[in-house]
Structure 1
């Protein structure tokens, strides 16, 4: 019997006797973030319920017994998690009667949680990149990395910083234009902000909107092209557009007003040409 078969058989036995194959699934990032298994489990479930509360103020209530039933942590574990997350300023609580019994009400501060998790992921990715590039004289152990990132998080909590202004500005602009980002895309956005700055990111977003291509893959393609072309300023972007226009015998296109921020630009840019080719490409060879 191989490992997969054995695991399946065990789960089948559990299901047969209990009527359900109870599993606790948690993203390990939550555990790494708080450096504690029980608090990580609690945080994962807190995120889950925060997304499902129907109250306008964002609160939901749950007893210690209900927490135990869901994630199998003790009352002490629940209280420890509340204290830890409260100190990190990601959790707000108050006690009020529910069903006639004094019960703790919970609310996840989503903005604060977002700031901390992104800061943590970016720090971890930078540490990982340094190790892979051989920039560290000594190989970092998992314990070293965890201790270092945990220290960074604690420093963030003490100072209550915002994520750097360039990232915050770019991210908010993407949200305003209803362009969702995955965890990987958020990390890529941070790197583009570091290298190119927020003005370039906003320009790429505008170009994507103009081409009816409101998706991160398209925007990151524009930014990657600028990065490969060693573009540093908006003047460099215009120069790159002009070079491409001249190469294509440009000048035939009428001037058009750019969206949102009131800039004017003439001709067809490299990104717009790529978008046009994508739209006209046969479906059986289109990129996915």
Structure 2
């Protein structure tokens, strides 16, 4: 028999629940039920668990983030899953979850023992119903609580944006940051902001130029982004060494790489004086031509030609 079959405790899901809500949804509810039992996050008289889609994927590595999003949305629309937001920062959109146990009161489901005896030779004692998927030595809720209480380390793109001089995040920018976090990752969005700070270009437009470039280049990790920047620097150095007069083909670097924040240039008194003198000379030349034209208007030959 293959080692993939029953060499570890199986995922136990009631067939009646899977039939009612769907297999993926039943798996998700079983896992959430496990974490709710150990959670210390009490809000509005209920126990909650909070996670990002990426955090859920660590527990469900056999699902993509888009699949997890669809499962959660389906359960929420069916009123089996209740979602809230009790984050300290309003810009933090991490969702909080709890099961709407009230919705299950009217469901007549067979017992765990009877369903399991019909579907498997495993006994209830052999299977730990509360075992998380996959095995995790530290509960997510405890880990997240420690992260919440720990000093801010700049790991949150929203917090980093406000704490490093980009300005206050409005609803529109918050949505764009969240979308880029979903499309790329929190780490890459954070890295693009760090680059903007280092280059003195602390604006969202500059950050987004970097992210667009990385998306075009299919960058998925911070290491890949750093390797790309290193390659840009090497190309820039080579192009600077090209002698003038040689027709050498060079690859165009992205606009953000050399772009910096526009700063008001100091007024140069000498340059300003030179400009005034030049305009004065041009004005005098225009007056001279007008005088000559006026003199020519008195010439009989010129009047006849007119």
* Structures share fold, TM-score greater than 0.5: no
Which structure features the higher share of helix residues? 1
- TM tier, shorter chain? 0.3 to 0.5
> What TM-score do you get using the length of structure 1 for normalisation?
0.33
Bigger-Rg structure (1/2): 2
Q: TM-score, normalised by structure 2?
A: 0.32
Higher RCO, 1 vs 2 (CA within 8 Å, ≥6 residues apart): 2
